[in-house]
Amino acid sequence: MSQFSSELQTGLLDLMRWRRDVRRFRSDPVDEAVLQACLDSFLSAPSVGLSEPWRVLRLEGDAARASALENFTSANANALAGYAGEKAALYSQLKLTGMQEAPVQLAVFCDEETEKGAGLGAGSMPETRRYSVVAAITQFWLVARAHGLGVGWVSILDPDKLGRDLDVSPDWRLVAYLCIGWPEADSDTPELERAGWEDRRGHLPVITR
């Protein structure tokens, strides 16, 4: 099927509006079949030169999860130290991770040295390999939301330390740490907006040349 209905167009917009960065999860587990259906979205993700450079690691053990949470705690303390006054007070009250609760946690890496794709398209912009991983994650996020799951992207981490702690190849660069589970509540408004940290723009300016 290569023609898409107006229902699909509208549903897609709804999905994007209700796809949020989720940091508050219920404790009930995620069915493996549902998770697998979401992970299958990686198979249709775009990648530069068909390099498919995504590498997915699932954190199940206590040691792996503890090292990741400690990594966040340390990076978050550093981040807080960079704010002052009201902004610092507000920052300290924000819930910025669901790592304590989320039943499924994935670290998604980019294999910077993959030979797949033979480097096509990545000569002058090698960062497009990492961008391919981001595109795959974005697809995963939308599919997860379509199944009712929430996804939270944690970036307040020392990426090199996380890679070392999880004993992955030094050629792998952390792109995202994802918390996945059933959200406590649904919202079409970002939590940072509700907390008064920042607003979204209501329009997209386009410059012409």
Q: Pick out residues in 1-40 that bind its own copies (CB under 8 A).
A: 1-5, 7-9, 11-19, 21, 37, 39-40
**Residue 39: CB minimum distance to its own copies, A:** 6
CB under 8 Å to 174, separation ≥6 — which residues? 107, 108, 109, 157, 159, 160, 162, 163
Tell the smallest beta-carbon distance from residue 27 to its own copies (Å): 20
28 or 167: whose CB is closer to its own copies?
Answer: 167
Binding residue (CB under 8 A) for its own copies from 103, 131, 182, 184: 131
Least distance between its own copies and beta carbon 81 (Å): 10
Does the footprint of its own copies cover residue 164 (CB under 8 A)?
no
At position 24, the amino acid (one-letter code) is R
Q: Indicate the SS3 state at residue 136.
A: helix
Near its own copies by CB under 8 A: residue from 98, 111, 130, 179: 130
For residues 194 and 185, what is the distance between their CA atoms, to the nearest angstrom? 13
Does residue 44 belong to the site contacting its own copies (CB under 8 A)? yes
58 binds its own copies (CB under 8 A): yes
In 3D, which of 29, 31, 54, 28 has the Cα closest to residue 41?
54
Q: Which DSSP symbol is given to 55?
A: E
Within positions 85 to 124, which residues make up the interface with its own copies, using CB under 8 A?
A: 87, 91, 94, 96, 106, 116-124
Let me know: does 112 contact 51? Beta carbons within 8 Å: no
Complex with its own copies: residue 17 or 89, whichever CB lies closer: 17
182 binds its own copies (CB under 8 A): no
Q: Minimum CB separation from its own copies for residue 59, in Å?
A: 6
Angle, CA 35 vertex, CA 161 and CA 175 arms, to 5°: 25
Q: Distance (Å, rounded) from C-alpha 79 to C-alpha 171?
A: 26
> Which position among 26, 103, 146, 171 is part of the footprint of its own copies (CB under 8 A)?
146
Among residues 49 and 181, whose Cβ is nearest to its own copies? Answer: 49
Distance CA 32, CA 191 (A): 28
